[in-house]
A = this chain, B = another copy of it.
Amino acid sequence: MSESLVQEVLDANCALAAHGLAPLTWGNASGIDRERGLVAIKPSGVAYDELTVDDIVVLDLDGNVISGGGRPSTDTPTHLVLYRAFEEIGAVVHTHSTYSVAWAQAQREIPLLGTTHADLCAYPIPLTRALTEEEIATDYEGATGTALVETIAERGPSELPCALVRGHAPFCWAASPAAAVDVAVTLEQVAQMALLSTLLEPRAEPLQAAVRDKHHARKHGPRAYYGQP
C-alpha cells in the first residue's frame, strides 16, 4: 500500500483530535487504495499523540490484516461495509463529536436550516434505522455499516456525505482522508447551529429551497464556482 495514503490516514486521525471532535480515543479515520483493494485504519484504543505510521493497520476488504502490529479499530467492519458498497468512497471518518451525538441520541435527523448545511449537503442529515437484536448479537459493527448503506443508498454517498447512527454517533465519508475530516468538522458545526436554532425556534422553517440548491451548486457539481479552479 502507498506510504502516502498511510500518512494521510495517520494525519486524518490526528486532525480529528486537533479539531476537538474525538475526546480520548473516540474517533477513527481510514482510507482505501482502490487499486490494491487495501484499507488503512487506526488501531483500536491508541492515543492520537502516540500514533505513528507503523501503528496504522492495513487490511483487505474482507478484514484480513496485511500489516501493522495492532488490532484495528473495533469499528473496522462498519468502514469495510461502506467501502464495499460504494466505489466513490475513498475515506471514512467516525467521531463522537458532541453536537452530532446530541442529535443521534435524540434520534432525530438534522433539519436543513441554513446555508452552512446546504454547502455540505442538500438534504437533512439522515438517521439510521434501529438494528434488530439479531443483527446486534451476530455482527453489530457490520450491521451498523449495512444500516448506513441502506440510509444513503437512494441518494448515494456523494449527495449524502455523512449520516448519524441512531443512539450512537456520526460517520462521514469523502474521496480522501483529509476531505472526510472536513466533512466531520462541517457536520459538527452544522449540528451545533441547528441545535441552537431549534432551541430558539422549535418550529424553525427549513431553508428556502432555491437558496439551498444555489448554495449546494456553488460548491458541488459541474457548475461549482467556489474555491480555486
Which of A185, A196, A214: most chain B CB closer than 10 A?
Answer: A196
In the complex, the answer to whether A107 meets B74 with C-beta atoms within 8 Å is no
- A115 and chain B: residue at smallest CB distance: B168
Kindly identify which residue among B107, B182, B204 contacts A201, using a CB–CB cutoff of 8 Å.
B107
Q: Which residues of B contact A114 (CB under 8 A)?
A: 101, 104-105, 167-169
The interface stretch among A30-38, A83-91, A128-136, A150-158 is A128-136
Within 8 A of B (CB), among A40-56: 43-46
Q: Which residues of B contact A200 (CB under 8 A)?
A: 102-103, 106, 108, 195, 198-199
In the complex, the answer to whether B44 meets A204 with C-beta atoms within 8 Å is no
Within 8 A of B (CB), among A111-135: 113-116, 119, 130-131, 133
Residues of A with Cβ closer than 8 Å to B? Answer: 23-24, 26, 43-46, 70-71, 74, 96, 98-99, 101-108, 113-116, 119, 130-131, 133, 136-137, 140, 167-169, 182, 185-186, 189, 192-201, 204-205, 207-208, 210-211, 214, 218, 225-229
